[in-house]
Amino acid sequence: MDTERKESAAECAAALLAWYDAHRRTLPWRDVRDPYATWVSEIMLQQTRVETVIPYFRRFMADFPDVAALAAADEDEVLKHWEGLGYYSRARNLHRGAVQIMEEHGGQLPGDAAGWRAVCGVGSYTAGAIASIALGQPAAAVDGNVVRVIARLTGLRENAAAPSVRREIAARCEAMMPGDRPGDLNQALMDLGAGICLPGTPRCDRCPLAAFCDARENGDAEELPLLPRKAPPREIPWDVALIRCGGKVPVRQRTEAMLRGLWVFPMAEGHSAPEALAASLRALTGLEVRGLRCAGEARHVFTHRIWRMRLWVAGADEDAVPAAPFRLVTEAELSGLALPAAMRAARRIAFDDGEEGS
């Protein structure tokens, strides 16, 4: 990099850090300088809003304060702490990563970004965030917010999803990084992307980097970063059934890749008429259901698909036993299991709905 560009990058970083010092939010995972805490927080923050993460982070750190405690926990227990946060593969990988660190490194956390990238579920972004924030090393942490800020700031007008362009964005971040505050620079870029350099219309009039910004000068900030158009999520209809057998309902633990390890009520793909649904439920659970009635609808949006659920209530014999892998649980037992958000509306209906479905 020539001297003039280096000076400009240093001035830009200084302006950004001054803004960060004045506007940074106090968050429970900031300033702790504990790679484990940064790891947990960064995994929770992926695809999830800061306000949502705060109570989950506090609970998680209280119950699993270090890597040894997390590795010693059951996966079910970890998933229960994640209930409602979504993207459950994050929790499973976090747990697996903790076991891996205990087994392969005797509980010693990696000391740099390359070491962290070898941990289960940790990609370049998280490795860079841990190395810079908790270990004070000059590693870039490029997430969607940082891609947007850097593409606009430096006028990068190429497909920002391409690996070579991502690498270029990381290099441009690292070129800005001051030796003494790499973690703060990454967090400042993230905060700027989350609050000022917004997708759609950026708030350039409030931006500390306005004087340095290529896209602002060029008038094309709203078009950057250049990203390929995403396919819309696919809608999948489901019938979900709460079958009351006495005071219990059948549930099963999912083994499919999506929501693996979480508990669900019997569900059949499609929206069927009651007779056809009763036959599907018999095939699924072995239970003879009666009095099937539709009790509501719910919708859950995942990254690539949307579940449109019709929620049914039905009854079965009090002493009926469902076929494996289903098992009967009481309301109290159900609250101890990790249910995905998609099943929460169904749970409410299962136990709040006063009328018996038989």
Residues that bind ligand SF4 (CB under 6 A): 149, 152-153, 196-197, 202-204, 207, 209-210, 213, 215-216, 221
Q: Which of 7, 42, 75, 333 is catalytic?
A: 42
CB of 90 to ligand SF4, least distance (A): 29
| Residue of 156, 130, 123 lying closest to 47 (CA atoms) | 123
In the bound state with ligand SF4, the residue whose beta carbon lies nearer, of 6 and 206, is: 206
> How many helices and strands (H and E) does the chain possess?
15, 7
Burial of 285 (0-12, 13-18, 19+ CB in 10 A): buried
In the bound state with ligand SF4, the residue whose beta carbon lies nearer, of 94 and 149, is: 149
CB of 14 to ligand SF4, least distance (A): 15
Please name the residues in contact with 113: beta carbons below 8 A apart, sequence gap of 6 or more.
124, 127, 128, 130, 131, 137, 139
**In Å, how far are 122, 142, 172, 195 from 93, measured between CA atoms?**
8, 20, 30, 29
* 42 catalytically annotated: yes
Cα 147 from Cα 159, distance rounded (Å): 11
In the bound state with ligand SF4, the residue whose beta carbon lies nearer, of 11 and 333, is: 11
CB of 191 to ligand SF4, least distance (A): 12
70: helix, strand or coil: helix
In the bound state with ligand SF4, the residue whose beta carbon lies nearer, of 90 and 152, is: 152
In the bound state with ligand SF4, the residue whose beta carbon lies nearer, of 132 and 154, is: 154
291: helix, strand or coil: strand
| 136: alpha, beta or left? (left if phi > 0; alpha if psi -120 to 50) | left
Element (H, E) at 58: helix 50-63
Cα 16 from Cα 235, distance rounded (Å): 42
> What length does the chain have?
358
CB of 169 to ligand SF4, least distance (A): 13
Sheet holding 327-329: strands in order across? Answer: 263-264, 249-253, 327-329
Do residues 16 and 192 make contact, with C-beta atoms less than 8 angstroms apart?
Answer: yes
CB of 225 to ligand SF4, least distance (A): 11
In the bound state with ligand SF4, the residue whose beta carbon lies nearer, of 150 and 259, is: 150
CB of 190 to ligand SF4, least distance (A): 13
Please name every residue paired with 293 in a beta bridge, in sequence order, or none if there are none: 313
| Residue of 320, 312, 200 lying closest to 267 (CA atoms) | 312
Do residues 293 and 314 make contact, with C-beta atoms less than 8 angstroms apart?
Answer: yes
Annotated catalytic sites, by residue? 42
